[in-house]
Chain A
Amino acid sequence: MTRASVAVALVALGVALAIVGVAAPASLVVQLATEPPGLDLTATSASATAAVVHYNIQECLVKVDRHGKIVPWLAERWQTADGRTYTFALKRGVRFHNGRPLKAEDVKFALERAMSPETRHPHREHYASIAEITVKDDATLTFTLKQPNPNFLLNLARQGSVIYPREAVETLKSAPVGTGPYILAEWLRGDRIVLRRNPDYHVPGLPRLERVTLRFIPDPNAALAALKAGDIDASLFGLGPEHVTDLKQDPRFTVIVGDTTNDVVMAMNNSRKPYTDARVRRAITHAIDKRELLEGAMFGMGRILGSNVDPLNPYYIDLTGAVPYDPARARQLLAEAGYPNGFDAVLKVAPQYYYTVRTGEIIANQLARIGVRVRIEQIEWGQWLARVYCRPPCVNPEYDLTIIGHAEAWDLGNYANPKYYFRYDSPEFQELYRKSEGTVDDGTRRGLYAQMQQRLAEDAPVVFLYMHPRLAVARKGLQGFWQDLPTFSGDLSEVSWAPAK
């Protein structure tokens, strides 16, 4: 740009700011890469649905806030004496989008429906510890648990625990009603979802935007061009590290690179030879240069992992040095296990998640150095879920190696489940996990979590690769986005345009 045109641009910007100063723009256009398969959080665990609905349209009794803390939300407070009965007092003056006040009966209905085997709730197990829900009055209800559960409150904050009016249960999929800061205004299939401000929102002063348009732009390059051309204001999940790197150099944008609970791992089928042998699994871990991997796949954004607990977790311990990059040691371990010349392996990845393909391509290259010959096979996401992840009616997972990000926080239970697609079956680990689930004492749990993380690092049931970073971009002047994602969230309730100075 020439100096003159910079001057012109600055003047124009000044004029624009002056106009903006009178009234900050009250609308926002956000890119989402994937369109939700439906808007019913009680029927799908799709993150595309959560990004739109959870926190924006529908809310839960409690909320995981931007710092990862569980805070009161639709429930103003709660008390428990023994960790087995919880009594919740609902916040006063909360209304659903249809105008009706929230009552304890709605909470009981929504959560009992989630627990019921009749409905197709994707995570019924989150409510398995609940024995009974009783309504005391319109604003009070009590949960009785079968046994103390340290995750009880967390489970009530999850996307599948949203509260909705019982009369609107039929329209959850296409027109969800909730208590959230925004009301669904329009869903133009294949193109956009428009949200409008909820004027009766129960948090005073929020939301600050009149209108939010969520546009589905699957191609990140189209999204990048749309950002640069001013057609969209922000991108929350749709950009890759190269686009973010590009936008970092552009003064018109703020780039958010934050932490998440999304642990990217390369799973090894522990029930298949040669991955039954911990020496082979450790050899593969030794052979992967995670620093190079993170640089190549994510341009260095994100964090290297040494075990499965993510850095945002209060019980996280740093185990990145436990099984370091050491190809010589890797070759030695392979020889000890009886594979001095390496072996052939098939790595299945789903290109729906670009990072799995990139990560796989780099790992294939790195493993070739110790003689493990990896062939990459790309399969469709649905196939991945059916064959690799092995959803019922599948009995045996069909894969050697696969790469995926495990986005859920507090997911160590997966390693305690020998039927999980890792097929990691360690009685010692299972015992540690069972203990940690049965205790509500923080100090004891912390100790157990440290032991579990160590155990996983040494057993190497999977290769713990890296924490997938949050990569978001917003136009300068926009504020209120979450920096980190201690829980998966597309929360826009506090987003606003900064008033011009």
Chain B
Amino acid sequence: MHPRSTRHLTFMAGLAITALLLATAALSALWTPADPLAMSIGARLQSPTPAHPFGTDQYGRDILSRVMVGAVSSIAVGVIAVGIGASLGVLIGTVSGWIGGWPDEGFMRLVDAVQGFPAILSALMFAAIFAPGLGISMVAIGIAFVPAFARLTRGSFLTLREREFVVAARALGAGELRLIGRHILPNTLAPVVVQATTSFPVAVLAEAALAYLGLGTQPPHPSWGLMLKEAQNFLSLSPTFAVFPGAAIALTVLGLNLLGDGLRDLLDPRTA
């Protein structure tokens, strides 16, 4: 790792939290303290005990195990939504930025139009047609990310197109596709990575909101947003139920934000 990055406090803190998140998700696939789906009605809504460090939910399920498994859903939503947003966005941005002219103009207006559909609005539309579920929320969140990636990529293209090394490569007879693949896309990578990192926590939050509205993840699969929604019902009977999934969301978002900030700092030539 670059020595400068190891000294960057924000980046390192973000990296540590993100690593913890990934490790938790990976661990939960192999081992959880208890079966996250096993019920024990007699032991429901317990405050934290040595047997259940995070307490139990309304069916007496172990909240710690469920929070651990929930990390997988959050990562899945983040990866897929950001994946959809980034791939579509970069594609549109590339085509638009490279071709220019009226197709560029058209694509950008389309991107402007897509910006009119925040994740919640698209999810509403899709839920009216298809059944609500994790799938439509991933797609809706992903679509909401498209404009940012498209603009970013197009912007990079517009500046890179005129840069000396590109002009030189073209003078040397490099084909257009080769030019894009070898010279331009790699140079747009850094901002795209930063954008992806900062989009990730937004996706986690959006999924929680959609699950809350009943448009997202469906039970019994543990998702943090869904757990919060359920915990809300038991707020006065068992206040601790809500604490842990809420804290998991907050910590994840915090970690990913810090990571994104750190990356931006490190990749930004001005702060070098």
Q: Which residues of A contact B (CB under 8 A)?
A: 220-221, 240, 242-243, 245-246, 292, 295-296, 351, 357-358, 361-362, 364-365, 376, 378-380, 383
Select which of A220, A246, A362 is within 8 A of B236 by beta carbon: A246
Which residues of the other chain, B, contact A351 by a CB distance below 8 angstroms? Answer: 214, 218
Q: Is the CB of A242 within 8 A of B37?
A: no
Whole-angstrom CA separation of A242 from B233 in the bound complex: 7
Q: Are A361 and B59 in contact, CB atoms less than 8 angstroms apart?
A: yes
Q: What size tier do the contact residues of chain B reach?
A: 20 to 34
With A221-B232, A221-B235, A242-B234 known as contacts, the answer to whether A365 contacts B39 (CB < 8 A) is yes
CA separation between A167 and B236, bound complex, in Å? 51
Contact assessment for A296 and B237 in the assembled complex, using a CB-CB cutoff below 8 Å: no
B219 interface neighbour in A246, A295, A361, A365, Cβ under 8 Å? A361
A296→B233 CA distance, assembly (Å): 14
Residue among B41, B58, B59 facing the most chain A CB atoms (10 A cut-off)? B41
Task: Identify 13 residue pairs between A and B in the complex whose beta-carbon atoms are under 8 Å apart, listed by A's number.
Answer: A242-B58, A243-B233, A245-B237, A246-B237, A292-B41, A296-B39, A296-B58, A296-B60, A357-B219, A361-B220, A362-B41, A365-B59, A379-B131
Q: Indicate with 1 or 0, residue by residue over B184-208, a CB within 8 angstroms of chain A CB atoms.
A: 0000000000000000000000000
Contact A365 B214 (CB under 8 A): no
Knowing A240-B233, A245-B237, the reply to whether A362 touches B59 (Cβ < 8 A) is yes
Chain A residues whose CB sits within 8 angstroms of the CB of B38 once the complex forms: 365
Nearest B residue to A222 via CB reads B232
Q: Are B131 and A383 in contact (CB under 8 A)?
A: yes
| A362 with B39, Cβ < 8 A, contacts A351-B214, A351-B218 known | yes
Q: Which of B59, B218, B232, B236 counts the most A-chain CB atoms under 10 A from its CB?
A: B236
A296 and B42 CA atoms in complex are apart in Å by: 8
Cβ-neighbour of A365 out of B37, B132, B232, B237 (below 8 A): B37
Q: Chain A: which residue is nearest B133 at the CB level?
A: A378
Contacts of B219 in A (CB 8 A): 357, 361, 376, 378
> Is B52 interfacial (CB-CB < 8 Å)?
no
Check B59–A220 contact: CB distance below 8 A. Answer: no
B161 on the interface (CB 8 Å rule)? no
- Among A364, A365, A380, max chain B CB count under 10 A is at A365
Within 8 A of A (CB), among B194-249: 214, 218-220, 232-237
The 8 residue pairs across chains A and B that have the minimum distance between CB atoms: A296-B41, A378-B218, A365-B39, A246-B236, A292-B41, A221-B232, A361-B220, A295-B41
Inter-subunit contact B131/A376 (CB<8 Å): no
> Is A242 within 8 A of B41, CB to CB?
no
User: B6 to nearest A CB, angstroms?
Assistant: 46
- Chain B residues near A361: list those with CB within 8 A: 39, 59, 219-220
Against A, the Cβ 8 Å flags (1 = close, 0 = not) of B117-141 are 0000000000000011100000000
| Neighbouring B residues of A221 by C-beta, 8 Å | 232-233, 235
Bound-complex Cα distance A365 to B60 (A): 12
**Within 8 Å CB of B183, what residues of A?**
none
Q: Which residue of B lies closest to A225 (CB)?
A: B235
* CB-CB nearest in chain B for A246: B236
Extra contacts, 15 of them, besides A221-B235, A376-B219, A380-B132 (Cβ < 8 A), are A243-B233, A246-B236, A246-B237, A296-B39, A296-B59, A296-B60, A351-B214, A362-B41, A362-B59, A364-B220, A378-B131, A378-B133, A378-B219, A379-B131, A383-B131
Residues of B within 8 A of A296 (CB): 39, 41, 44, 58-60
Question: How far is B213's CA from A255's CA once the two chains are assembled, in angstroms?
Answer: 28
CA distance A351 to B218 in the complex (A): 9
